Amino acid sequence: MKHLSKSLVIVLALVLLALLAPEAPALTGDTLKVENSSGWPGIGGYVIPITLKNATTLRALAFRLQANPDSLIITAVNPILRAGAYTVAMEPIAKGARILLVPTNASTPALIPDSTAILQVIVSVKNNTPGGTKATVSLDSVTAANVSNQAVTVRTKAGHFWFGTKGDVKYDESMAVDLFDVLRLIDIALGVAPPATEYELWAGDLSPNPSNPAIIGDGLIDIIDISILLDMVVATSKAAAPPAASSPSAGSVRLEVVDLPQNYVGELDVPIYYRASAPISGIELVFKTDAARYQLAPPKKTLLSKNMTMQSALRGDELHVILCSTDGKPMPAGEGELLTLPVNLLQQQTEATSIEIKHAQAGSEAASRMETIYARSNAMELQAPDSYSLAQNSPNPFNMSTTIRYEIPASVQNALRTRVLVYNTQGRLVRTLEDRQRSAGRYTIVWNGRDDAGRYVASGIYFYKLIAGDVILTKKMAVMK
Q: What is the structure's pLDDT at 246?
A: 47
User: What is the average pLDDT across 155-160?
Assistant: 96
Q: Is the dihedral of CA 394, 344, 297, 361 positive or negative?
A: positive
User: What is the average pLDDT across 215-227?
Assistant: 88
State how far the Cα of 207 lies from the Cα of 225, in Å rounded to an integer.
Answer: 6
Residues facing residue 398 across a β-bridge = 479
CATH of 389-479, one of 2.60.120.680, 3.40.50.300, 3.40.50.720, 2.60.40.4070: 2.60.40.4070
Greater confidence, 325 or 315?
325
- Nearest Cα neighbor of 408 from 432, 431, 382 is 382
Report for 72-81, 188-197, 221-230, 249-258: range of highest mean pLDDT: 72-81
Backbone φ and ψ for 231, nearest 5 degrees, come out as: -60, -40
Backbone φ and ψ for 461, nearest 5 degrees, come out as: -95, 135
Residues facing residue 60 across a β-bridge = 145
- Nearest Cα neighbor of 397 from 454, 435, 340 is 340
State how far the Cα of 270 lies from the Cα of 262, in Å rounded to an integer.
Answer: 13
Q: What is the structure's pLDDT at 348?
A: 80
What percent helix, strand, coil does the chain show, rounded to 5? Answer: 10, 45, 45
Q: Are strands 318-324 and 282-288 parallel, antiparallel or unpaired?
A: antiparallel
> Which CATH code is given to the segment(s) 6-163?
2.60.40.680
State how far the Cα of 305 lies from the Cα of 330, in Å rounded to an integer.
Answer: 9
Highest CATH level, class, for 252-373? mainly beta
State how far the Cα of 209 lies from the Cα of 206, in Å rounded to an integer.
Answer: 9
Residue range 105-138, pLDDT digits in tens: 989 999 999 999 999 999 999 999 999 999 999 9
Greater confidence, 269 or 9?
269
Q: What is the structure's pLDDT at 248?
A: 64
Residues 49 and 117 sit within 8 Å (Cβ to Cβ): yes
Which residues, 6 or more positions from 435, have their beta carbon under 8 angstroms from its beta carbon? 417, 418, 419
Confidence grade of residue 25 (pLDDT, cut at 50, 70, 90)? very low
Average per-residue pLDDT for the chain: 86
Q: What is the structure's pLDDT at 352?
A: 65
Greater confidence, 396 or 199?
199
State how far the Cα of 17 lies from the Cα of 147, in Å rounded to an integer.
Answer: 17
DSSP one-letter string for 149-185: S-EE--EEE-EEEEES-TT--S--TT----HHHHHHH
State how far the Cα of 244 lies from the Cα of 96, in Å rounded to an integer.
Answer: 37
Report the percent of the chain where pLDDT is more than 90: 55
The Cβ of residue 463 has, within 10 Å, a number of other Cβ atoms equal to: 15
Greater confidence, 11 or 405?
405
State how far the Cα of 24 lies from the Cα of 214, in Å rounded to an integer.
Answer: 34
User: What is the average pLDDT across 251-269?
Assistant: 82
Residue range 348-381, pLDDT digits in tens: 877 767 888 998 999 998 888 899 988 543 333 3
Whether residue 299 has a cis bond before it, omega within 30° of 0: no
Q: What is the structure's pLDDT at 247?
A: 55
pLDDT of residue 179 exceeding 80: yes
Residues 230 and 284 sit within 8 Å (Cβ to Cβ): no
Among 37-46, 196-205, 230-239, 441-450, the minimum mean pLDDT is found in 230-239
Q: What is the structure's pLDDT at 349?
A: 74
Residue range 130-143, pLDDT digits in tens: 999 999 999 999 99
State how far the Cα of 179 lies from the Cα of 203, in Å rounded to an integer.
Answer: 14
Q: How far is CA 294 from the centre of its chain?
A: 27
Q: What is the structure's pLDDT at 211?
A: 79
The Cβ of residue 130 has, within 10 Å, a number of other Cβ atoms equal to: 10
Q: What is the structure's pLDDT at 237?
A: 60
